[in-house]
Structure 1
Amino acid sequence: MAERDGREADARDDDAAFAEIVAAYGEEPEDPPGAQPWPEAENLPAEASDAEPNTAEKSDKFVKGDRASDAPAGSFVVFAPGVGPRDWEPGEPSEDDFDASDEGHFVPPEPPPLPHADTTARFAWLAVLGGPLLLLLVVLLGIEMTWWLTTLGVGGFLGGFATLVMRMKDGDEDEDDDPGRGAVV
């Protein structure tokens, strides 16, 4: 029985808490003293913003051109190309900019030239890329798909792919140095 009384008391507490939440629905909590939710420049008196709702009279004044009596509507900033923080460039560094611990400006060496591919690899890549491209062009241009076009496209792709896979290296360059994979004493 004691368990049952405890559950009923918890249920009553939950009901009371829920009733309190429902009663306070829609109310804004008060800010703690000294708290500012936005910068000082955006502080507006609360009574001024509530006292002057947008009315038809105010919009008529604005349309008539009596702008002196209206408060400014606001502004915004437009950045044009070449204007702003990115148009500043630093000056050229001089020897005075570096101290004794600074070793100077590092200039990396030129990268080595790309390796030259042999003729077989070039034709294999041409077949891998050209075969599907040929089939795509035949479909897009509405040309009749004959047996030799299909064979050239599919066979070129498969042959080029097989050639590239067969020519791949193991990546284990030092295989001859240590055939038994044992320790060198």
Structure 2
Amino acid sequence: MTERDQERGDGRDPIDEEAAWAEIVAGYGEEPADPPGVWPKAEELDLTDTVDRVAPVVSTPEPALPFDSGPRDWEPAEDEEEDHFIPPEPPPLPETDLSTKLAWVAVLGGPLLLIVAVLLQREMTWWIVTLGVGGFLGGFATLVTRLRDGRDDDWTDPGSGAVV
């Protein structure tokens, strides 16, 4: 018994490591046996006795397809004018006032001014930074304050309860 087997002290039989290694080396290069429940390989199957038990397959020749037209030769059927859906004209976009337009110019133009100054390698003077940052912040604040809250203009006092 080796020292490791004695240290285990669990009462199991000692392992013969030399015999296990000799078995591994002797079987080197051979394919191991498949475990139980594994399907056999195609080379190992004997299909001679199963051919007689299988019903013969009757094959019917498929009709010859004429290949005088291809997928690019296909043309859709003519649509009648009545069946074709024509969507209605969309409503016009709402008109905006001058302050909203200027706020959008400031929101987009402020950062654009800073980017152009960096790309052209201009010195960042105080007025460029003030126009860029101030324009963006001022335009953004203007747009946020002009947002609609989604309420109708004819709503009653919110403390009065439900309107029936």
Q: Residues 162, 104 of structure 1: CA spacing in aligned structure 2 closer, same or farther, 3 A cutoff?
A: same
Cα deviation, 1:47-74, whole Å, max 9, x if unaligned, reads xxxxxxxxxxxxxxxxxxxxxxxxxxxx
Q: Residues 147, 87 of structure 1: CA spacing in aligned structure 2 closer, same or farther, 3 A cutoff?
A: farther
Instruction: State the Cα distance separating 1:173 from its structure 2 match.
Output: 1.5
Identity of aligned residues (%): 61
- Does 1 or 2 have the higher relative contact order (CA < 8 Å, sep 6+)? 2
Matches of 1:87 and 1:131 in 2, distance apart? 56
Matches of 2:121 and 2:93 in 1, distance apart? 40
Q: Residues 105, 151 of structure 1: CA spacing in aligned structure 2 closer, same or farther, 3 A cutoff?
A: same
Cα deviation, 1:61-89, whole Å, max 9, x if unaligned, reads xxxxxxxxxxxxxxxxxxxxxxx857855
Higher mean alpha-carbon deviation, 103-112 vs 138-147, is at 103-112
1:31-180 maps to which residues of 2 (within 5 A)?
A: 85=71, 88-94=74-80, 104-173=83-152, 176-177=155-156, 179-180=158-159
Count of matched residue pairs: 109
* More helix, by proportion: 1
Which residue pairs with 1:63 in the alignment? none
Matches of 2:75 and 2:159 in 1, distance apart? 61
Matches of 2:41 and 2:131 in 1, distance apart? 76
Question: Structure 2: which 5+ residue stretches go unaligned?
Answer: 1-9, 11-30, 52-69
Which residue pairs with 2:33 in the alignment? 23
Instruction: State the Cα distance separating 1:146 from its structure 2 match.
Output: 0.2
Instruction: State the Cα distance separating 1:130 from its structure 2 match.
Output: 0.5
Matches of 1:110 and 1:134 in 2, distance apart? 38
Matches of 2:161 and 2:71 in 1, distance apart? 62
SS of alignment partner, residue 153 of structure 1? helix
Q: Residues 150, 172 of structure 1: CA spacing in aligned structure 2 closer, same or farther, 3 A cutoff?
A: same
Q: Residues 116, 23 of structure 1: CA spacing in aligned structure 2 closer, same or farther, 3 A cutoff?
A: same
Amino acid at match of 1:146: T
* Structure 1 length-normalised TM: 0.47
Q: Residues 90, 152 of structure 1: CA spacing in aligned structure 2 closer, same or farther, 3 A cutoff?
A: same
- Greater Rg by CA: 2
Q: Residues 88, 112 of structure 1: CA spacing in aligned structure 2 closer, same or farther, 3 A cutoff?
A: farther
